[in-house]
């Protein structure tokens, strides 16, 4: 198949395919008249790359999976180098999850503090002569 057909079947653009070819991820086979030519194996490579990118892998991280497929493995993730990339990605995700959990805890604590302050203001406002509630964002009365 030619580049336009492969791009359409893979849900990408010919420009992207040429970029992948320049990065060595997609083979650069040409016909006698200079047209790029591809086959079903190339479509499988592209689908592997796209799936990994959807998972958050950058383009260079997909290389071991592509090489594994090219080596004849039915799935691109059964080679040692692919497994190592999976492990590194999981470690990165664990760090990010920890950071997000920390931020969530801080936001939750700030929310609890803000709710307590609001309740204290409301209680004070209920007392004759107490302060009037004020919008913290704009300084306007509620």
Query: Taking residues 5-28, what's their average pLDDT?
Result: 94
pLDDT confidence band for 123 (50 / 70 / 90): confident
Q: At residue 132, does pLDDT exceed 70?
A: no
Question: In whole angstroms, how large is the CA radius of gyration of the chain?
Answer: 28
Looking at residue 117, its pLDDT comes to 87
Query: How far is 73 from 135, CA to CA, in rounded Å?
Result: 63
Query: Taking residues 108-135, what's their average pLDDT?
Result: 78
Query: Taking residues 114-130, what's their average pLDDT?
Result: 77
Single out the residue of 45, 44, 1, 5 nearest to residue 21, CA to CA.
45
pTM for the structure as a whole:
0.72
Contacts 24+ apart (CB under 8 A), 51-55: 55/89
């Amino acid at each position: 198949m030619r580049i336009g057909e492969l791009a359409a079947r893979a849900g990408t653009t010919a420009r992207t395919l040429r970029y992948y070819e320049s990065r060595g991820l997609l083979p650069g086979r040409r016909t006698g008249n200079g047209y790029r030519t591809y086959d079903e194996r190339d479509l499988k490579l592209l689908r592997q790359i796209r799936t990994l990118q959807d998972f958050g892998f950058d383009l260079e991280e997909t290389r071991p999976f592509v090489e594994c497929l090219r080596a004849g493995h039915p799935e691109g993730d059964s080679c040692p180098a692919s497994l190592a990339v999976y492990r590194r990605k999981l470690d990165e995700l664990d760090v990010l999850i920890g950071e997000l959990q920390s931020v969530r805890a801080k936001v939750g604590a700030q929310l609890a503090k803000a709710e307590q302050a609001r309740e204290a203001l409301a209680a004070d406002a209920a007392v004759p002569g107490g302060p009037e509630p004020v919008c913290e964002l704009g300084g306007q009365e509620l």
